[in-house]
Amino acid sequence: MDQEKKETLGQAILNLEGKTPDSLDPVEITEEMGNKEYIKGLHKCIEKTLENFTQDFYITAIRVQIPLMQNKAYKLLFKSRITCPSPQYDEDAWQYHSGTGSIEFLWAVPDSGTCHMLKYNALIVDPEERQLRDFAIAMLDGSLLKRAKELNGEKEEQNIILSLE
């Protein structure tokens, strides 16, 4: 049996240990671990969900911060659900279309501090980070939540009148 040698999270952190905490971010860790692990986790979640469901569903990739050594490490958790998730910080959202077997990327939301930094520096963001900037701004102004509600078939919020009698 051929076992693929993969780098552990601890090894990735040790490789990045020489960096100052300010220069270490989730993007660098993801690149260090490789996008293959992300895609592998996404496909594993889809395969497991397809064992129980045949309709369209959504997947969230949740970045969980793990304090480790001087720097912080992130672990990805993939969860599936039938309804579109409300956007949250440190989460990505995908939609699986059962009719075509395709996966649609919906959004990626960084942590709160990064969202605000991208919003307030919107005009000077590197071209490579413009899509992330747009997701951050949409998170902060409520556009992502509105999109999630539309995907769930929810209507605009209505005023609710409660009787105190």
User: What would the pLDDT profile of 61-92 be if each residue is shown by its tens digit?
Assistant: 998 877 765 556 778 899 999 999 999 999 99
Between CA 151 and CA 80 the distance in angstroms is 15
- The reported pLDDT for the residue numbered 91 is 94
Residue closest to 61 by CA, chosen among 39, 87, 47, 79: 79
Say if residues 117 and 137 touch (Cβ distance below 8 Å). no
Quick check: pTM over 0.75?
no
Kindly list the averaged pLDDT for each block of 10 residues, start to end, along the chain of length 165: 52 49 47 70 93 93 75 82 95 94 92 92 88 93 93 74 63
How far is residue 56 CA from its own chain's centroid? Answer: 19
Distance CA 49, CA 147 (A): 23
